[in-house]
Structure 1
């Protein structure tokens, strides 16, 4: 698979994780929906400016576009988590992170009890 196809597949994965149609992504990125389809198929040689618009629409770090892992349940779950918190304020993200730490600590403690 070449780079345009890999980037296109990753954009499709992120779009689907956000629950968006190609039209919704196109609108959020100020692009035409048929262009998004071409990008996702790897048919378009996407410019950095266009890629920047798509990244901004997703509200994810740029590195997320280049995470070319096999699609797994874990990756989908992480993408969904990113999507859920992407529109939240910094304060809300900090609160969610604190709660997540507490939940993980409780899970870890529960696991320790099960191994005794």
Structure 2
């Protein structure tokens, strides 16, 4: 279990980094870390301190909670990836935009 949480958080950081179009080196520079440290975190080799996670989240321009928002990819990885991407997009919007998106989804699914 201990290693699994490191792997999941590391994979989530990697996904967010790639979504932002950042290299390990660029993320390291933004957060004040060596790129090899970022690689160790992403591979689950490094038990990263909470304060360092906060710096990584800031460098990624996401809330620290996003580093722990991952979906267990078991059955349909593509659908799960899409859901995760939608959650990330919504997390970056204001409450009015979220409410609008919710109404759009209701209309789509209630009309079928």
Tell me, which stretches of 5 or more residues in structure 1 are unaligned? 87-91, 112-116
Match of 2:62 in 1: 60
Instruction: Pick closer, same or farther for the CA change 1:73–1:60 going to 2, 3 Å.
Output: farther
Distance 1:74 1:29, change over 3 A: farther
Cα RMSD over matched residues? 2.7
Q: Where do residues 94-113 of structure 1 align in structure 2 (5 Å cutoff)?
A: 94-111=95-112
Partner in structure 1 of residue 27 of structure 2 = 25
Greater Cα offset, 77-86 or 29-38: 77-86
Instruction: Name which one, 1 or 2, has greater alpha-carbon Rg.
Output: 1
What is residue 94 of structure 2 aligned with on the other side? 93
TM score, norm. by length of structure 1: 0.67
| Structure 2 gaps, min length 5 | none
Partner SS, residue 24 of structure 1: helix
Greater RCO (CA < 8 Å, at least 6 residues apart) = 1
TM-score scaled by length of structure 2: 0.69
- How far is the alpha carbon of 1:37 from its aligned partner? 0.8
How many residues end up aligned between the 2 structures?
106
Could you tell which deviates more after superposition, 26-35 or 72-81? 72-81
